[in-house]
Amino acid sequence: MKKIITSFILGVVILMGFAQDANSQSVAIINIADILENMEDYKNAQAKLDKMAEQWQQEINAEFEEIEMMYNKYNAEQVLLSDAEKKEREETIINREKEVREKQKMRFGPEGELFSKRQQLVEPIQDKVYNAVQEYAELHNVDIILDKSSSAGLIFSNDEYDKTEDIKKMLDIR
């Protein structure tokens, strides 16, 4: 409760600071998600990433099914196996599962191939949008540009400050 009150007071103080400088500052609001979703390059990159992720997931699912079949076969034959054979089969199944989990991590993990590919394909597009926003701010003497598509805390904005369409025009997005 104390944190909420402190946050509220801090927010009011910040807003008061902005209110005092409102005459000297220009504010614009944009919707980055809307801009990106309407860019053909972004759509193509996203489709390529989705296709790649789907293909990799199918491969991993197939490998997990293979492991499940190995386990089921082991369970069915377990009574006929010696202790050494049981141990060997169990280790084989465990090692195979570790391999597949490692492959899954290499493909989908935070530093995996999908993340790298996403950076490679999407980052130049995001840079292009950022540069257009920066250029817009410089051309129109805008001091602050907020993104209403993020959940950073923008609760309300007057449509008069929404400059998303202006940025789309600069990027030649229809």
What residue numbers bound the domain in which 20 lies?
2-170
- Three-state SS for 26? coil
DSSP for 110-169 reads TTSHHHHHHHHHHHHHHHHHHHHHHHHHHHTT-SEEEETTS-SS-----GGGB-HHHHHH
Residue-wise pLDDT tens digits, 149-170? 876 666 456 666 777 788 888 8
Residue-wise pLDDT tens digits, 88-135? 999 999 999 999 999 999 999 999 999 999 999 999 999 999 899 889
Which residue would you say has higher pLDDT here, 12 or 58? 58
CA–CA gap between residue 38 and residue 36 (Å, rounded): 5
How confident is the prediction for the chain on average, in pLDDT?
84
Residues ≥6 apart with Cβ < 8 Å to 29: 145, 146, 147, 148, 154, 157, 161, 162, 163, 164
- Three-state SS for 29? strand
- Three-state SS for 27? strand
Residue 138 carries which side chain, given as an amino acid letter?
A: E
Structure tokens at 45: 């990159």
Number of domains in the chain: 1
Which residue would you say has higher pLDDT here, 161 or 48? 48
